């Protein structure tokens, strides 16, 4: 028995005391997009990469190998990122090129999140634009910021295709935006491009504090949320929030904390956003006096899942009050009570800083 136990423990000691002294990493090398994007008639003098990472690195995350060995995974391309982006433009200026620019890569991070039977791919990027003025000097014009997302059902062995797809999507959006900047009027410095902003890097995130009240036939709920998020750059974007929930039912009250809370936001105007939320909670119950004798220790616990849809007043690129209303479907499970479905009306009030 002791020999078997020793055989099981030896790999653990080796990983901690021997392998742990070295830095282990793995790399996935992909193309900078699958499709060839035609260059636009615009000359970029220089592309500078100021990220604190390898020039060819697009992302890094940690995974466990052989169950307990931590391994850094790098997503890389064959050439430096600055070289790839400069290659999207004219090699040299020509007589029809009036606009000249310099670009600075402040951020470029590509990653994937597991979601049921598919993966959500995201490209977060920030590129500062400097334009050449009449005195032959380059001046800061603004920063193009992206939160590009896509969903793909690629197999694990073909995950590189998903990364290349999201890069292609970013490249198309980036080229269109640069072309708009070139074509915009001189007095329209931000060119009416929603994701073209003036700020210093690193990006200042918005702080959302939100209070939602849910009114049902037999109970009422209250959720408190807090979110740190990037400024909006896309019409559709996702957010993840930490949330606590208080439930007041005719038989009990519960205090719950979120295990999963994802929000899909769809901006329908400069003032209004449609929000679809999925939340999963784990909580503890406190029964009213008349119910104590009917419930055992197992009924202290509660699992709670909800889907909601709301219309929210949330001004684009402005701080201030947010408010909304909507509907929610909720299923909560207690051992002796089973699963119970209840609909609710939502009233929401919060602030964005």
Q: Print the SS3 string covering 298-335.
A: HHHEEEEEEEEEEEEECCCCCCEEEEEEEEEEEEEEEC
Mean pLDDT value across residues 57-79: 75
Domain count, the chain: 2
Q: What percent of the chain clears pLDDT 90, i.e. is strictly above it?
A: 50
Q: What is the pTM of this model?
A: 0.77
Residues 175, 219: one domain?
Answer: no
Q: Is residue 9 domain-resident?
A: no
**Per-residue pLDDT band at 312 (split at 50, 70, 90):** very high
Residue 273 is part of which domain span?
206-352
**Distance of alpha carbon 255 from alpha carbon 253, whole angstroms:** 7
The yes-or-no verdict on residue 109 having pLDDT over 60 is yes
The yes-or-no verdict on residue 161 having pLDDT over 70 is yes
Q: Is residue 77 domain-resident?
A: yes
**Per-residue pLDDT band at 8 (split at 50, 70, 90):** very low
Q: Is residue 15 domain-resident?
A: no
Using the 3D structure, point to which of 156, 176, 197 is the last residue of a domain: 197
The single residue listed with the structure tokens 């997302």 is 149
Mean pLDDT estimate for the chain? 84
Using the 3D structure, point to which of 135, 169, 197 is the last residue of a domain: 197
Residues 171, 234: one domain?
Answer: no
Nearest to 54 by CA among 124, 109, 111, 123: 109
> Exposure pattern of 319-346 as b/e (b: 16+ CB <10 Å)?
eeebebebebebebebeeeeeeebebeb
Residues 231, 315: one domain?
Answer: yes
- The tokens of 344 are what? 């609710």
pLDDT at site 112: 86
pLDDT at site 203: 67
Cα dihedral across residues 309, 313, 317, 321: positive or negative: negative
Using the 3D structure, point to which of 167, 197, 227 is the last residue of a domain: 197
Residues 253, 188: one domain?
Answer: no
Residues 169, 315: one domain?
Answer: no
CA angle 209, 210, 216 (to 5 degrees): 160
CATH number at 36 reads 3.40.50
Q: Across the chain, where does the E strand assignment appear? A: 25-30, 43-49, 57-65, 69-77, 100-115, 118-132, 138-152, 196-197, 206-215, 219-229, 236-240, 242-249, 252-267, 272-287, 301-313, 320-334, 338-352
Residues 297, 331: one domain?
Answer: yes
Q: What is the pLDDT of residues 165-205, one digit of tens each?
A: 999 999 999 998 988 888 775 555 556 788 888 766 666 77
Residues 211, 314: one domain?
Answer: yes
Residues 31, 171: one domain?
Answer: yes
């Amino acid at each position: 028995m002791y020999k078997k136990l020793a055989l099981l423990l030896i790999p653990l000691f080796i990983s901690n005391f021997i392998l742990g002294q070295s830095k282990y990493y793995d790399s996935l090398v992909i193309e900078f997009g699958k499709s060839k994007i035609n260059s636009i008639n615009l000359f970029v003098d220089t592309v500078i990469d100021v990220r604190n990472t390898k020039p060819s690195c697009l992302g890094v995350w940690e995974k466990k190998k052989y169950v307990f060995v931590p391994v850094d995974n790098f997503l890389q391309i064959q050439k430096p990122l600055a070289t790839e982006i400069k290659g999207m433009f004219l090699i040299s200026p020509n007589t029809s090129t009036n606009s000249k620019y310099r670009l600075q890569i402040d951020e470029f991070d590509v990653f994937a999140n597991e979601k049921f039977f598919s993966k959500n791919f995201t490209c977060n990027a920030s590129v500062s634009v400097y334009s050449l003025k009449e005195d032959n000097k380059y001046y800061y014009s603004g920063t193009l910021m992206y939160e590009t997302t896509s969903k793909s059902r690629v197999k694990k062995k073909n995950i590189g295709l998903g990364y290349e797809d999201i890069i292609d999507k970013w490249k198309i959006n980036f080229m269109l935006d640069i072309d708009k900047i070139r074509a915009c009027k001189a007095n329209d410095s931000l060119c009416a491009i929603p994701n073209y902003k003036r700020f210093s890097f690193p990006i200042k995130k918005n702080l959302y504090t939100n209070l939602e009240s849910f009114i049902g036939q037999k109970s009422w709920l209250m959720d408190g949320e807090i979110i740190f998020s990037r400024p909006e750059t896309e019409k559709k974007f996702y957010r993840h929030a930490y949330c606590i929930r208080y439930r007041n039912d005719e038989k009990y009250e519960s205090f719950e904390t979120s295990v999963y809370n994802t929000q899909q936001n769809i901006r329908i105007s400069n003032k209004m956003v449609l929000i679809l939320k999925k939340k999963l909670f784990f909580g503890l119950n406190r029964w009213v006096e008349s119910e104590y004798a009917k419930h055992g220790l197992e009924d202290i616990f509660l699992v709670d899942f909800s889907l909601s849809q709301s219309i929210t007043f949330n001004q684009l690129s402005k701080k201030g009050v947010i408010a909304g209303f909507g509907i929610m479907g909720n299923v909560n499970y207690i051992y002796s009570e089973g699963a119970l479905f209840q609909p609710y009306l939502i009233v929401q009030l919060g602030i964005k800083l």
